[in-house]
């Protein structure tokens, strides 16, 4: 590892999210003192990106997701490889495989459940044997939910059954890349039935979790269950860290809106998308609706905010962790991913690395919490005080 030319290589740097991650890495380069390279299939675009940031010291590596040799050549030059080139269901497995073969630590920002399950099933044992750490979901999917639930569970009595619910609130927009990824994930789930996730045995005392649409009086908002990757990541953390979560642990995640009519509008929109993805013509129309490589303007991102409230309950205790910040999908995701890479590098230097395919909590834990707080993301755990109407 010490002989490798780059501490961090960013693959997919010319994409919408990749450019934001590149900026976040450059911002911290002098403080963190690391060697950086950007990678992708188009060397001219990479050169243009480097010139636009006035960063001649950054290396350039050409690699293509469809070319195994180029991926392994790229991975061999990195200590840590960051992957922002999605959709990961299409392009991600070959990159992970190259990193495992070359002994390179790996981070990405996927939110695709089928891909996450696939990576864990295929590569966990290989990554352990290779002595490397592979971490999916190092952006808004799934760092706030994973860290927030972990902090909440640790603040509750270890031997009492726990029910933990995360409530998401945001006004953010999405990019073309996120839209493309979402459409492809829905297509695989509805048509090809490829959404299988790994799950462990259920403890007999695990609380029952109601995952229906409901009005949440504690928050005074409507709650809609979220069929996203976060619950899979959270439950995997809990399964692998029973000393923090206990044996009887239940988790549910919800998106919240302020009125019933917003619930109806969102349900109609989702139902339409699930219908349209079934047919080639309408699915391609959906892809064209928000082309990959486009995204919300800087002005829109500056106005965007998120709040994740994670409420944990046992028979006699109630604890809440609040995580909040700016634009979740891009500005803060770039911050989360870059800080995850730095936290992983710290653990590698200090010989505290957890190897295998790991969740953000398993791999980075309190190190990442501390870094995110230092970077301006609000994270606080406290006794839960419900909203009371006056």
Mark whether 201 and 323 lie in a shared domain: yes
In a domain, 165, yes or no: yes
pLDDT of residue 175: 60
Query: How many C-beta atoms surround the C-beta of residue 345 within 10 A?
Result: 18
Mark whether 155 and 109 lie in a shared domain: no
Mark whether 33 and 132 lie in a shared domain: yes
Give the structural domain span for 170. 143-328+376-383
What's 207's DSSP letter?
P
Q: Is the pLDDT of residue 191 over 90?
A: no
The C-alpha atoms of residue 1 and residue 24 are separated, in whole angstroms, by 24
CATH number of the domain that residue 362 is part of = 3.40.50.720
Q: What is the full DSSP assignment across 133-198?
A: EEE---BTTBHHHHHHHHHHHHTS-TTS-EEEEEEEEE-----HHHHHHHHHHHHHHHTS------
Mark whether 162 and 129 lie in a shared domain: no
In a domain, 389, yes or no: no
Count: domains in the chain: 2
What are the backbone dihedrals phi and psi of residue 39, each rounded to the nearest 5 degrees, phi first?
A: -140, 150
In a domain, 1, yes or no: no
Mark whether 172 and 211 lie in a shared domain: yes
Query: Model-level pTM?
Result: 0.91
In a domain, 73, yes or no: yes
Mark whether 155 and 304 lie in a shared domain: yes
Mark whether 55 and 190 lie in a shared domain: no
Nearest to 163 by CA among 249, 231, 245, 247: 249
In a domain, 190, yes or no: yes
Q: Is the pLDDT of residue 124 over 70?
A: yes
Mark whether 47 and 13 lie in a shared domain: yes
Mark whether 217 and 316 lie in a shared domain: yes
User: What residues does 36 pair with on adjacent strands?
Assistant: 8
Query: How many C-beta atoms surround the C-beta of residue 334 within 10 A?
Result: 24
- Residue 245 in tokens: 């979560």
- Each residue of 73-95: pLDDT tens digit? 999 999 999 999 988 988 999 99
Mark whether 48 and 161 lie in a shared domain: no
Residue 318 · residue 300 · CB < 8 Å: no
In a domain, 267, yes or no: yes
Q: How much of the chain is helix, strand and coil, in % rounded to 5? A: 45, 20, 35
Confidence of residue 177 (pLDDT cuts 50, 70, 90): low
Mark whether 172 and 208 lie in a shared domain: yes
Q: Are strands 59-62 and 36-40 parallel, antiparallel or unpaired?
A: parallel
The H or E element spanning position 322 is strand 318-325
- Each residue of 31-70: pLDDT tens digit? 999 999 999 999 999 999 999 999 999 999 999 999 999 9
In a domain, 230, yes or no: yes
Mark whether 117 and 167 lie in a shared domain: no
Query: How many C-beta atoms surround the C-beta of residue 298 within 10 A?
Result: 11
Distances (CA, A) of 328 to 66, 126, 214: 30, 32, 24
- Each residue of 310-338: pLDDT tens digit? 999 999 899 999 999 999 988 999 999 99
Who wins on pLDDT, 187 or 284?
A: 284
In a domain, 390, yes or no: no
């Amino acid at each position: 590892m010490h002989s490798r030319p780059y501490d961090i290589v960013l693959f997919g740097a010319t994409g919408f999210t990749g450019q934001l991650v590149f900026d976040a890495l450059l911002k911290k380069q002098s403080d963190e003192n690391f060697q950086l390279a950007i990678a992708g299939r188009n060397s001219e675009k990479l050169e243009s990106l480097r010139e636009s940031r006035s960063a001649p010291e950054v290396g350039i590596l050409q690699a293509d997701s469809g070319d195994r040799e180029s991926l392994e050549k790229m991975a061999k030059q990195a200590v840590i490889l960051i992957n922002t080139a999605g959709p990961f269901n299409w392009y991600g497995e070959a990159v992970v495989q190259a990193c495992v073969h070359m002994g390179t630590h790996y981070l990405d920002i996927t939110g695709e459940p089928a891909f996450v399950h696939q990576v864990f099933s295929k590569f966990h044992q290989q990554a352990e044997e290779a002595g490397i750490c592979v971490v999916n979901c190092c952006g808004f999917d799934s760092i706030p939910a994973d860290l927030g639930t972990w902090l909440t569970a640790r603040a509750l009595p270890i031997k009492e059954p726990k029910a933990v619910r995360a409530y998401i609130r945001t006004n953010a927009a999405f990019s073309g890349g996120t839209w493309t990824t979402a459409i492809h994930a829905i297509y695989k789930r509805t048509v090809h039935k490829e959404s299988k996730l790994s799950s462990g045995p259920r403890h007999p005392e695990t609380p029952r979790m109601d995952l229906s649409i409901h009005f949440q009086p504690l928050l005074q908002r409507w709650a809609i269950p979220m069929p996203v990757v976060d619950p899979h990541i959270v439950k995997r953390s809990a399964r692998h860290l029973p000393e923090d979560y206990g044996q009887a642990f239940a988790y549910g995640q919800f998106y919240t809106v302020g009125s019933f009519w917003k619930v109806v509008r969102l349900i109609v929109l989702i139902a339409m998308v699930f219908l349209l993805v079934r047919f080639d013509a309408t699915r391609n129309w959906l892809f064209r609706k928000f082309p990959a490589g486009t995204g919300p303007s800087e002005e829109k991102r500056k106005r965007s905010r998120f709040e994740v409230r994670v409420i944990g309950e046992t028979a006699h205790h109630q604890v809440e962790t609040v995580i909040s910040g700016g634009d979740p999908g891009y500005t803060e995701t770039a911050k989360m991913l870059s800080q995850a890479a730095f936290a992983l590098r710290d653990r590698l230097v200090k010989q505290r690395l957890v190897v295998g395919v790991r969740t953000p909590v398993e791999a980075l834990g309190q190190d990442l919490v501390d870094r995110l707080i230092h970077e301006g993301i609000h994270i606080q755990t406290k006794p839960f005080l419900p909203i009371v109407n006056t």
